[in-house]
Structure 1
Amino acid sequence: MGSERTELAISAAPFKVGIVGGGVAGATTALKMAGLGIETLLFEAGDSLVSGPPICHLHAGGNLYREISDEQCIALLEQSIATVRAYPDTVNRRPTVIAIPTTDSGQPEAILDRLETLTQHYRTLIAQDADNEVLGTPEQYFTLYNEQDLARLAKESLPENPQTPDEWLIPVAKYMPHDKFKFPLVVVQEYGLSVFRLAATAALGLEQSPHCSVHLKHTIIKIESLSEGWRIGSIDGDGKAQSHDVDFVVNACGFRTGTVDDFASFPRKRWVEYKAAYVAHWPSQAGMWPEVIVHGDRGTPQGMAQLTPYANGFIQLHGMTQDITLFDGGLVASTEASAQPDLPQHMVVKAGGGWEWPEIRERTERAISHFSQWLPEFEHAEVGGKPLCGAQQIPGDDPSLRAADATFEGERYARIELVKASSALQAADRILAHCEQRGWISLPDAWQNPTLPLTASLKNDEIVERAQNIARGREYPDALALPFPH
């Protein structure tokens, strides 16, 4: 980005930002701001960064959600492209198969117009900036397969290193009964993400920055308004009270965002939803699998099923039923009395890792059984670890919202309300633009480039090594931290 002067933000007076919450939203904002030379304080209650709800894919076009608007899908596509450019070493580069079962009332044709719209928008984004071509060529964005195509592919040998959509679809054609689905099936360039490599990238990037102070194991107990800024009060891991004055606050507390809104006396409507994804191990897995999404009506016994592959036969599973990924009482709205929805305490405990083994086994086995309806061989899978779980916030009145980023209260307070991880970079950019418009900072010409200066020089090997250490520390299999295909 040029000389030291041109690659850093310039401020007429010292400008300090306090970011509360070290999830993907807070960590990404810290990386962007500190990389621009803005003095940044990052507060995280846990002992490491990026440890929130299960993150497993980009949502590059919102194709997993047939009920959302085209506008949200286009926003998710743009945000996902930026995420791949910002975090290239966190991406698991395999496609996703979208299938509609014969038992479902939906029709494949319902998403075809959307796919064409997304392809055209992807083509436009590449014309604007060639570096946006991160999901293959526009012609490769999606591929359709009819029943005859699957019959043909079922006769092919399983490839060791699949490259083309045809090759990725071979195991699906061989092991998923064709009469269970409506046609065409779709193979879309919807890639995976590793939450552990995201956490590793954020930690390594911020550790080398002289402009960011990371405060782990800090519980925020108050936020007080000053004449030109805020005073953040916290309790550190040793139980000592600390106080920090900042010029601007970013509330990035995930499903606890309402708690900080309450400290600052800012009312806000939002939902909080608790979800869990399950870790299975499939030792008898044949071939290298894509992600497979089987559409279904959310909350019903035939809710959407999702099989997300990782290295060494480990699989992450969602089943959008009350007995698997969703929970009775797990979707809660804020009230006039508080901006923080009151999630049941047993779910808050689970979000912190407090699962009992019998429930882990029971819900994981239900998830395995749910997907085995369409993949009989998968019944041989076994419990592979504790669930990846957490709660996500959904701003406003519509619990189906999927594309959200930053909002503001007054001039010196922003909140980031992500529903999907890929929205984090856009939220950070929106906050930077807000600060520049008020004359607090002057940004260089190339500041909106998605590449993060603090992480651009990181080596894949060091990211993977740190990610494996993080996975072990959180008691998950190393395989979830490895690149896939591996």
Structure 2
Amino acid sequence: MNLIESKTTSLLIADSPITVGIIGGGIAGSTIALRLAEQGINVQLFEEGKSLVNGPPICHLHAGGNLYREISDQQCITLLKQSIDTLRVYQHTSNIRPTVIAIPCNDAGNPDDLLPRLTLLQQTYQALVADDAKNCVLGNPNDYFKLYQRSDLERLALQDNPQQPLTPDQWMIPVAKSINLDQFKYPLVMVQEYGLSVFRIAATLALALQRLPHCHVNTNTKVTSLAELPNGWQVSSQDATNHQQQINVDYLVNAGGYRTGTIDDLAHIPRQRMVEFKAAYVTHWSQCDAQWPEVIFHGERGTPNGMAQLTPYPDGFFQLHGMTQDITLFKNGLVASNGNSAQPQLDASFKEKLQQHWTQQEIEQRTQRAINHMAQFVNHFEQATVGGKPLFGAQQIPGNDPTLRAADVSYSHQRYARSEIVKASSALSVADAIIEQLAALDLIQSPPSQTRENAFPVAQQLSLNEIVSYAEKLAAERGFPASLARPIGH
């Protein structure tokens, strides 16, 4: 059987060049589009917004899920594997700095409870690197985590902040100098969970898809109706100029993010899910004279002592999460679907925020609360100021378990797949699953065995400089400081 030629190794069956429709150009939809188009599969990508990957406030790779005490070890292992794959494909999107986990004295948690999971994750990472040296993207497996007793921090607090930290101890110096050591249980943990730049992911996907002739990106385009055909779907859409079109596709992927349920409704396919609105806050700490790791101060979610997350960027910018209802979480911000619709209905106030309609008073009020929450732990952080508008979005959670963090794909019809990721690092798993499903349906030939890198030849050719340049442009277009698009540790 002859294969249709393309720039990459084509998987298309001769005389049957299929087209896959993907609704939603977030991290999942765009990644699926990239995965398919890199293999020579025709893609029609529909995105209602004007650019790709413009959703929830992605900032953390979750290479092990250590932010979440409540999730299972299996979810943590899944997130670790998915994060490694993400770094191999999106090689210029990480901010390479470790994450510190600290448990305040007023928290019920015990640092010793974290150790079995950390050991399991380290052993898993070691095995993955032994299996394939290219999996070594989180540093030496022996250094996956390190423990710090109080005496270690007292010693490090006497040292000067390094200009460019390289070792775990050097990364820990600003933390040791800036926290009240009496406030915490020991040991503190430093783990190789990196940052993830939403702007550089968006730039990578936009630039790569522009270069792939098999992918047609329909931005500013709303899908208005769906009709199931004997061998696929008819997708009706309308663009910003009110131009309407109908496109027949052989396979349909619902990657609508928090609006996945609206697409299910158009397709008349019921599904139970939850949606949660969240926000993170951009601050500027001009007096900061150190490069910080990310720091997680554990706390009970939804209470005034909820987890505080300090995510560093260049030039003194920090993104803050505070898992309280006054900061990152919102009263009535978690909603579930019902028997009438697969789409959970957020209150009108959240829908306004999702359309960029925040009042300046609310931006300043919630950002200040985030600063105050962090200043409980970090000396002098009360000096920080509002650094920009919030990063925000609604996160879908399939099923009815609000603690779920590792999820990927579900199927309701033979030619209909639903992306249901909760974390960005799960997007590649969905893309892989859809490739396998297309092969199982004999729509494409079974894919050859490929390394992660070989499966994404166009994306792999992009340079750090062109990605950063495009990412800075995206940040500016979206009204954020360009520093949020710039890398740490490259």
Q: TM-score range by the shorter chain?
A: over 0.9
Matched, 1:473 2:486: no
Write the mapping of 1:168-183 to structure 2, written as runs, cut at 5 A.
168-183=171-186
Name the structure 2 match of 1:325.
328
Write the mapping of 1:30-41 to structure 2, written as runs, cut at 5 A.
30-41=33-44
**Residue type of the alignment partner of 2:324:** T
User: d(CA) in 2 for partners of 1:245 and 1:38?
Assistant: 15
Matched, 1:454 2:458: yes
CA contact (8 A) 2:12 2:18 kept: no
User: TM (normalized to structure 1)?
Assistant: 0.98
Return the match for 1:128 from 131, 136, 140: 131
**Residue type of the alignment partner of 2:27:** V
Write the mapping of 1:61-140 to structure 2, written as runs, cut at 5 A.
61-140=64-143
CA contact (8 A) 1:160 1:288 kept: yes
User: d(CA) in 2 for partners of 1:361 and 1:333?
Assistant: 29
CA contact (8 A) 1:323 1:363 kept: yes
User: d(CA) in 2 for partners of 1:235 and 1:7?
Assistant: 33
CA contact (8 A) 2:58 2:196 kept: yes
Matched, 1:337 2:340: yes
Return the match for 2:169 from 166, 169, 181: 166
User: d(CA) in 1 for partners of 2:377 and 2:286?
Assistant: 18
Residues 162-183 of structure 1 show CA distances to partners (whole Å, capped at 9, x for unaligned) of 0111000000001111111100
Return the match for 1:352 from 350, 355, 360: 355
Return the match for 2:208 from 198, 205, 209: 205
CA contact (8 A) 1:251 1:260 kept: yes
Name the structure 1 match of 2:280.
277
User: d(CA) in 1 for partners of 2:450 and 2:415?
Assistant: 21
Secondary structure class of the residue paired with 2:380: helix
CA contact (8 A) 1:311 1:485 kept: no
**Residue type of the alignment partner of 1:475:** G
Write the mapping of 1:271-420 to structure 2, written as runs, cut at 5 A.
271-420=274-423
User: TM (normalized to structure 2)?
Assistant: 0.97
Identity in percent:
55
User: d(CA) in 1 for partners of 2:405 and 2:111?
Assistant: 21
CA contact (8 A) 2:63 2:193 kept: yes
User: d(CA) in 1 for partners of 2:310 and 2:169?
Assistant: 19
User: d(CA) in 2 for partners of 1:438 and 1:127?
Assistant: 34
Secondary structure class of the residue paired with 1:214: strand
Name the structure 2 match of 1:8.
10
User: d(CA) in 2 for partners of 1:352 and 1:422?
Assistant: 25
| Cα displacement (A) at 1:57 | 0.8
User: d(CA) in 2 for partners of 1:218 and 1:446?
Assistant: 35
User: d(CA) in 1 for partners of 2:56 and 2:397?
Assistant: 13
Matched, 1:464 2:468: yes
| Cα displacement (A) at 1:411 | 1.0
Q: Which moved more, 1:6-15 or 1:252-261?
A: 6-15
| Cα displacement (A) at 1:454 | 2.2
**Residue type of the alignment partner of 1:468:** E
Residues 108-144 of structure 1 show CA distances to partners (whole Å, capped at 9, x for unaligned) of 0111100000011111111221100100111010000
Name the structure 2 match of 1:229.
232
Return the match for 1:45 from 16, 41, 48: 48
CA contact (8 A) 1:7 1:444 kept: no
Name the structure 2 match of 1:259.
262
Name the structure 2 match of 1:217.
220
CA contact (8 A) 1:15 1:440 kept: yes
User: d(CA) in 2 for partners of 1:408 and 1:454?
Assistant: 29
| Cα displacement (A) at 1:60 | 0.6
Q: Which moved more, 1:434-443 or 1:48-57?
A: 434-443
| Cα displacement (A) at 1:7 | 2.1
| Cα displacement (A) at 1:352 | 2.4
User: d(CA) in 2 for partners of 1:52 and 1:139?
Assistant: 35
CA contact (8 A) 1:15 1:39 kept: yes
| Cα displacement (A) at 1:88 | 1.1
Return the match for 1:426 from 429, 454, 457: 429
CA contact (8 A) 1:25 1:424 kept: yes
CA contact (8 A) 1:280 1:314 kept: yes
CA contact (8 A) 2:8 2:40 kept: no
| Cα displacement (A) at 1:376 | 2.1
**Residue type of the alignment partner of 1:228:** N
CA contact (8 A) 2:439 2:447 kept: no
**Residue type of the alignment partner of 2:227:** E
Unaligned runs of 5+ in 1: none
| Cα displacement (A) at 1:447 | 4.1
| Cα displacement (A) at 1:4 | 6.2
**Residue type of the alignment partner of 1:332:** V
CA contact (8 A) 1:429 1:448 kept: no
Secondary structure class of the residue paired with 1:449: coil
Name the structure 1 match of 2:486.
482
User: d(CA) in 1 for partners of 2:458 and 2:378?
Assistant: 43
Secondary structure class of the residue paired with 2:225: strand
| Cα displacement (A) at 1:351 | 1.8
User: d(CA) in 1 for partners of 2:242 and 2:450?
Assistant: 39
User: d(CA) in 1 for partners of 2:204 and 2:361?
Assistant: 34
User: d(CA) in 1 for partners of 2:289 and 2:58?
Assistant: 25
User: d(CA) in 2 for partners of 1:169 and 1:460?
Assistant: 27
User: d(CA) in 2 for partners of 1:321 and 1:448?
Assistant: 42
User: d(CA) in 2 for partners of 1:162 and 1:42?
Assistant: 41
Between Structure 1 and Structure 2, how many residues are aligned?
484
RMSD of aligned alpha carbons: 1.2
Distance 1:480 1:6, change over 3 A: closer
**Residue type of the alignment partner of 1:341:** P
Secondary structure class of the residue paired with 1:88: coil
Distance 1:440 1:95, change over 3 A: same
**Residue type of the alignment partner of 1:146:** Q
Secondary structure class of the residue paired with 1:439: coil
Unaligned runs of 5+ in 2: none
User: d(CA) in 2 for partners of 1:5 and 1:322?
Assistant: 50
